[in-house]
């Protein structure tokens, strides 16, 4: 699909609307928290809304497929939350350095999809586009090779895409770009919050986020090809020492390289889950620990290996932090995150 600037404009509008919804929801949930923590709470609330769509098969009805009902209800709910927390809505205390670095690095990582939308690209994306369209069309669950309840494919990714497709302007190309930007936000924000919670300073936290986000973008730029490489053919894998689509490198930063796949979104959720674990264990706040478990559960519903890794590392972190002993556990998260991708079944992503 050739580059169409109108698609990018529509996707930017959709992303701005989604970001505003996250901010309102996050402020309602954690109005005394820092801006980054509020945004994380709102992000998880949006994913929680997508999770509710997974109850559709049990109800025998589709919420996503009724945008004229769901849209006004969600808009009214956001308006009520905004009015309730109107004094807390203006952002205060935003650090411009990590904000600028995160936005810049995120755009670098997403650049291939910005200049060449992956809608109708082919490969596994045809499956994912089809399942998103099925949900948006009013089906209570994706059908096909993974049909049945419980569905044979963890389809939280498709539920999120279905909501975006139905409630926001634009077609599939804009939807997939918004999902990609949501993934980039999830990974970058999660890494930055986790680094801050671990006591890493401002510069170190910013570097952590930069490396997590831009590692994939740098890998794309280093190919030195005249056009974006969103995927290469099996016969050219050796040339690039991997394939961004068919056989992505097993590191979290390459999960941000378009197109965003379900396993990538699951991987990106791991830092957020660990941030909640560290915060909850240190403060003995069971609410944060419950939120960490829920976040790991959301990761399972995108990519079971990623969710399992999040849960295992979360337990290890909780034990270490609760016992008061010092141990270098965080690097294990990155190593296990990389290993989790290798556990994916080659085939449908």
Q: Give the residue extent of every domain in the chain.
A: 5-342
Give the C-alpha distances (Å, rounded to integers) separating 312 from 129, 270, 343. Answer: 31, 11, 15
Give the C-alpha distances (Å, rounded to integers) separating 183 from 227, 241, 252, 307, 321. Answer: 23, 24, 11, 15, 28
Banded pLDDT at 317 (limits 50, 70, 90): confident
Give the C-alpha distances (Å, rounded to integers) separating 24 from 45, 85, 86, 180, 298. Answer: 10, 8, 9, 21, 21
Banded pLDDT at 136 (limits 50, 70, 90): very high
Give the C-alpha distances (Å, rounded to integers) separating 152 from 50, 130, 254. Answer: 18, 16, 26
Banded pLDDT at 333 (limits 50, 70, 90): very low
Q: What integer pLDDT is reported at residue 151 of this predicted model?
A: 65
- CA-wise closest residue to 47 among 64, 73, 22, 70: 22
Q: Which tens digits make up the pLDDT trace of 220-238?
A: 554 445 454 445 555 555 5
- CA-wise closest residue to 48 among 69, 29, 68: 29
Q: What integer pLDDT is reported at residue 260 of this predicted model?
A: 84
Banded pLDDT at 13 (limits 50, 70, 90): very high
| Confidence check: pLDDT of 252 > 70 | no
CA distance 99 to 97: 5
Supply the pTM of this predicted model. 0.83
Print burial letters for 180-211: b (CB count within 10 Å at least 16), e (below 16).
bbbbbbbbbbbbbbbbbbbebeeeebbebbbe
């Amino acid at each position: 699909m050739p580059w169409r600037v109108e698609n990018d404009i529509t996707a930017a509008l959709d992303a701005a609307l989604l970001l505003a919804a996250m901010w309102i929801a996050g402020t309602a949930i954690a109005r005394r928290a820092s801006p980054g923590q509020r945004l994380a709470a709102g992000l998880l609330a949006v994913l929680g809304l997508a999770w509710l769509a997974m109850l559709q098969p049990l109800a025998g009805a589709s919420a996503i497929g009724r945008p004229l009902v769901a849209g006004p209800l969600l808009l009214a709910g956001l308006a009520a939350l905004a009015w309730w927390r109107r004094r807390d809505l203006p952002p205060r205390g935003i650090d411009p350095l990590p904000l600028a670095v995160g936005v810049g690095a995120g755009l670098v990582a997403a650049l291939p999809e910005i200049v060449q939308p992956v809608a109708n690209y082919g490969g596994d994306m045809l499956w994912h586009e089809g399942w998103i369209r099925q949900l948006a069309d009013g089906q209570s669950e994706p059908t096909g090779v993974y049909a049945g309840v419980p569905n044979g494919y963890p389809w939280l990714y498709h539920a999120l895409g279905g909501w975006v497709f139905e409630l926001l302007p634009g077609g599939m190309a804009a939807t997939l770009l918004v999902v990609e930007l949501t993934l980039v936000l999830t990974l970058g924000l999660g890494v930055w919050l986790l680094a801050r919670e671990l006591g890493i300073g401002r510069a170190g936290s910013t570097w952590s986020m930069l490396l997590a986000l831009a590692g994939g973008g740098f890998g794309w730029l280093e190919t030195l090809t005249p056009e974006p490489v969103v995927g290469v053919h099996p016969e050219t894998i050796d040339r690039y020492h991997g394939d961004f689509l068919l056989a992505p490198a097993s590191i979290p930063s390459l999960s941000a390289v378009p197109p965003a796949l379900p396993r990538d979104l699951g991987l990106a959720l791991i830092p957020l889950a660990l941030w909640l674990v560290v915060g909850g264990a240190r403060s003995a706040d069971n609410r944060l620990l419950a939120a960490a478990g829920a976040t790991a559960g959301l990761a399972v519903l995108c990519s079971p290996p990623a969710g399992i890794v999040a849960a295992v590392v979360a337990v290890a972190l909780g034990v270490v932090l609760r016992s008061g002993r010092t141990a270098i556990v965080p690097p294990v998260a990155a190593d296990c995150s990389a290993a989790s991708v290798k556990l994916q079944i080659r085939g449908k992503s």
